[in-house]
Amino acid sequence: MIARRAGRVLGAAALACAALMAAVPPPDASQSPPPASGAAISVLPLPRRLTLLGAGWCGERFRTYEVRFEGVPSEPGALELLEQRWGAIGVTPRPGASVRIDVSKLRPDEAALSRDLGDEGYVVVIDRHGVRISAATAAGRFYGMMTLAQLPQRKRGRGWCLPDARVVDWPAMRWRGLSDDLSRGPIPTLAFLKERIRAIAAFKGNLYSLYLESAFRDPQEPLASPQDAITPRELADLAAYAARYHVALMPEQETLGHMHRLLSYERYAGLAELPHDYVLAPAVPGAEQLMQGIVDDEGAAVRGRTPFFHLGGDEPNLVGSGRSADLAKRVGPEAMYLGYYTPLFAAVAAMGMRPVVWGDFLLAHAGAIAKLPKSVVVANWHYAAEASYIKYLEPFAKALQRLARLDGKQQQFAFQVFVRDCHVFCFRNLIQNH
């Protein structure tokens, strides 16, 4: 990666590569003997357990299917994606179809799996009786249907069939998603963004982060964004659309650095740390007040649809060197940072979401880590692949350990930390996994 911002494209590219890989036909059954395991069947992401049953390969060709939800709500988003994918290979939904798909809660004989499956796991069984998808939750049933969507196998000269198989699967990470930079170049259309949401969901992602910077058209601050920026109504529409596919839409609004466009206007220039700078000055009261208004308006659009709101905060390289120099000298950079962000953290929490911030400032000023509100999620960005990312987590783990020694209540300081590589989000609770 040449630059971190350019690296945002890699997340999309990685997703596109995944889609292409999934589209590659699996080995032709007519040209090879029945496999002894599910290794010959391509599914992305790879399920934890995929076992072929009986003879293990395709049965009769199928052209139609019928989905029945038994004792559970329908999943319209999953039905749409299944129809879209199978329609491309000439398989269509129809009552009384050749393949029946039953979707239900876990069966009594699957109860022992419930602990492993958690909130998003599922079981798929395909045999001569049809297809059965079971899960304890709506999300699990959705992901089971997404796995089924990838399972048809091509039979040379005989169309498509489903292998007799059993899949037991659950995610390795609670949050799996994509960061999408909308602030550089033409702003995508809503249709394009909805297509991206469907692609994320089809591969069992559940988080879509829109990097907005100046790409949100706040009605109170119209100068801060271009004419084609995302409006509050459009952001609310996207959040509702994403929820249909079990995807949480997380706005990422820069609130300290990377405010080039906004600070280029004379109206806002006095909020900059230095003349013609891209960093807001924490010492100027209007800076935090301006950003709180924008955060409030964006948060209102997604409230109730996502557990997170990203406040940015990366690369504030010159903060404390201009208009905030006296403040930084008087209280220190850590207190200056926390004083600026604490009201923003509170505003996000008041809307029922957890605030997220980039971790580079905190890694450089580790004394601020232990003073973060316990609801804050810290996101670490990094350019390159490394053998281990533990050095980016250790400062946070050490802060937790110090707090635990002080009062013996480690569980109260439940920071979450995730490391971003190629702008793909995967994070776990630090206390449980460090």
Q: How confident is the model at residue 155 (pLDDT cuts 50, 70, 90)?
A: confident
pLDDT above 90 for 305: yes
pLDDT above 90 for 425: no
% residues pLDDT > 90 (the chain): 68
CATH 3.90.79.10 fits 175-433, yes or no: no
Phi, psi of 181 (to 5 degrees): -85, 110
For residues 172-201, give the mean pLDDT.
93
Domain boundaries, the chain: 48-168, 175-433
pLDDT computed for residue 406 by the predictor: 57
CATH superfamily of 48-168: Chitobiase/beta-hexosaminidase domain 2-like (3.30.379.10)
Q: How confident is the model at residue 226 (pLDDT cuts 50, 70, 90)?
A: confident
How do residues 329-376 score in pLDDT, each as one tens digit? 999 999 999 999 999 999 999 999 999 999 999 999 999 998 999 899
pLDDT computed for residue 112 by the predictor: 93
pLDDT above 90 for 38: no
